[in-house]
Structure 1
Amino acid sequence: MSVLKLKLDQEQLVEDFFEDTWLAGIMSPARDYQLCWQINQQLGYDLRVNNLLEIKLTKNRRSFYFTVFEYLEPTKSAAHYLYNNHCKAEFLLPELKHVDYIWLIKGNYYQAADVKNLVEQCRKAGLVQLVTLLDMKDIKNKINLIF
Structure 2
Amino acid sequence: MTILKLKLDNDQLVEDFFESTYVIGIASTARDYQLGWHINRQLHTNFRVNNHLEITLSKKNRSFHFPVFEFHEPTNSVAHYLYNNRCQAEYLLPELKQISFLWMIKGDYYQPNDVKKLLEELRLVPLVQLVSLLDIRDIKNKMNLIF
- Scaled by the length of structure 1, the TM-score of the pair is 0.98
Q: Which residue of 1 aligns with 2:132?
A: 132
Runs of 4+ in 1 over 2 A off after TM superposition: none
- Give, in angstroms, the shift of residue 2 of structure 1: 3.0
Alignment of 1:33-44 (within 5 A): 33-44=33-44
In structure 1, the gaps of 5 or more residues are none
Mean Cα displacement is larger for which, 29-38 or 55-64?
55-64
SS at match of 1:4: coil
Matched residues in 2 for 1:88 and 1:34: separation?
17
Matched residues in 2 for 1:53 and 1:2: separation?
36
* Equivalent position amino acid for 2:99 in 1: V
Pairs aligned (count): 147
Matched residues in 2 for 1:140 and 1:6: separation?
25
In structure 2, the gaps of 5 or more residues are none
Q: Which residue of 1 aligns with 2:65?
A: 65
Deviations, residues 31-78 of structure 1 (Å, cap 9, x unaligned):
000000000011100000000000011112211100000000011210
Alignment of 1:71-86 (within 5 A): 71-86=71-86
- Give, in angstroms, the shift of residue 23 of structure 1: 0.5
Residue identity (%): 65
Q: Which residue of 2 aligns with 1:48?
A: 48
* Equivalent position amino acid for 2:63 in 1: S
CA RMSD of superposed structures (Å): 0.7
- Give, in angstroms, the shift of residue 105 of structure 1: 0.4
Matched residues in 1 for 2:106 and 2:66: separation?
19
- Scaled by the length of structure 2, the TM-score of the pair is 0.98
